[in-house]
A = this chain, B = another copy of it.
Amino acid sequence: MTRWGPDPRGRLMESALELYAKHGYDQTTVAEIALRAGLTERTFFRHFADKKEVLFAGSDDLRDLLVGAVAGAPPSAPPIEAVAAGLLAAGAAFNEDRRSFSMRRQSIIAANAELRERELIKLATLASAIADTLRQRGVSEPAASLTAEAGIAVFRVAFHRWVDASNELGWSELVRSSLAELKALVSP
């Protein structure tokens, strides 16, 4: 429980997750989140644009990690290997410290249609960003879009397995095994 710790942002996130899980996302107000964290609404809005952003604040970092690694893969890497490098680099956002937050976040998102839609949009935006980066690497269409979409399919499956309560594997292992499975499935 970090809620009375010195980090106001972490306290706000913790309070928001607790309230979303307890009362539901729709029923929770920013005022309640701030109160529970022992902070003011004004402080909340210094850290987050709204109560949804508590759950999606990491999206830009994730995109930058992923796209940066796709862009930085050796020029000779085939498109799928550049995307694999991106997915592995995303592991910096999915370390063991983060897993408990992600598991709790996931069950809140699963319970709310608006949040599920926002998550879909996040992943579609990620797929577009990967496809753009592949095109900048000289990959033509439709190869860039197909590879980006396949990468997002691997991402979804690896992430779903990572946040499963029974999972004991790390992000890299999950990405590698999901990608290997996709290869086996697509070319049976």
Q: Enumerate chain A interface residues (CB-CB to B < 8 A).
A: 78-81, 117, 120-121, 124, 142-143, 145-147, 149-150, 152-154, 156-157, 160-161, 178, 181-183, 185-188
Contacts and interface: CB of A to CB of B under 8 A. Distances in A.
B187 A183 contact: yes
A13 to B, nearest CB: 25
Given A120-B121, A149-B153, A183 B181 contact: no
B80 A185 contact: yes
Given A183-B186, A186-B183, A186-B186, A178 B146 contact: yes
A58 B178 CA distance: 33
Contacts of A161: 142
A180 to B, nearest CB: 10
A150 B147 contact: no
Contacts of A157: 142, 145-146, 149
Contacts of A181: 142-143, 146
Given A178-B146, A181-B142, A187 B188 contact: no
Contacts of A145: 153, 156-157, 160
A147 to B, nearest CB: 5
Most chain B CB within 10 A, of A79, A142, A150, is at: A142
